[in-house]
Amino acid sequence: RILKEKFSSYGLPFTADAGKLAVKGWIWGFVPSAIILIPLFATGACSYHGLALQGGELLSSTVGWALAMLSLGLAEEFVFRGFTLKTLADGIGFWPAAIFLSAIFGMLHLLKPMENWIDAVSVGLYGLLWSLMLKRTGSLWFPIGFHAASDYADMIMFAEPNTGNNGQPIPGHLLEIRFHGPDWLTGGPRGTEASLLVFVILAGLFYIFDKAYPGTIANQADSAHPKS
């Protein structure tokens, strides 16, 4: 209201393809979380022990946590790559603003107990990846879908430990997967976003997304954010 801007101008245009972008982002976010588990299973660093829930409890947790993670993805993306990024980019340019806010995004994770530098750096790099997704697709719907699916896969589907729950899987997770490999491989109480393998995953994501969404089709983003 103060700036007399439309809410949609902060990376959330209500266009016909908004839902499609969110679904694509969800797929892009879910798949890497599954891929990173392959070498863990192959080396015996984690093991599968069936479903953690049954019947109606399984259904309600599946749907309820999906909605919760979508809300979380929307909230965090709007804070770090919506209003704040657009406003800061107006003054210093898109990429300087994106780097600055992604660094803050990563460092904030160090405020949680049991965190380490690997987690902070990987989260900061994810912030840059989501900034690239915003720049190339012209909206936050893609990174919102990615962010939500990544958290959902890690914490709910695959029962990874989380420092926000004292290094244990959060209640209501769907599968019973136990992690017992070294911390550098599994991430320990921080989950796989603190595994050294995450940097291989991130490098692949940057490369593949750059090829799938080249800068030549990023015109829509420039209408929401000035060029760096």
* Tokens representing residue 122 in the block: 């990987």
Q: Give the 3-state DSSP-derived string for the chain, with helices as H, strands as E and coil as C.
A: CCCCCCHHHCCCCCCCCHHHHHHHHHHHHHHHHHHCHHHHHHCCCEEEEEECCCHHHHHHHHHHHHHHHHHHHHHHHHHHHCHHHHHHHHHHCHHHHHHHHHHHHHHHHHHCCCCCHHHHHHHHHHHHHHHHHHHHHCCCHHHHHHHHHHHHHHHHHCCCCEHHHCCECCCCCCEEEEECCCHHHHCHHHCHHHCCCHHHHHHHHHHHHHHHCCHHHCHHHHHHCCCC
Cα–chain center distance at 184: 20
Q: Give the per-residue pLDDT at 214.
A: 92
Band of residue 54 on the pLDDT scale cut at 50, 70, 90:
very high
Q: Give the per-residue pLDDT at 228.
A: 38
* Tokens representing residue 164 in the block: 């926000």
Per-residue pLDDT of 105-160, as tens digits, reads: 999 988 888 889 999 999 999 999 999 999 999 999 999 999 999 999 999 999 99
Per-residue pLDDT of 190-221, as tens digits, reads: 999 999 999 999 999 999 999 999 975 454 44
Q: Give the per-residue pLDDT at 10.
A: 85
Is residue 23 scored above 90 in pLDDT? yes
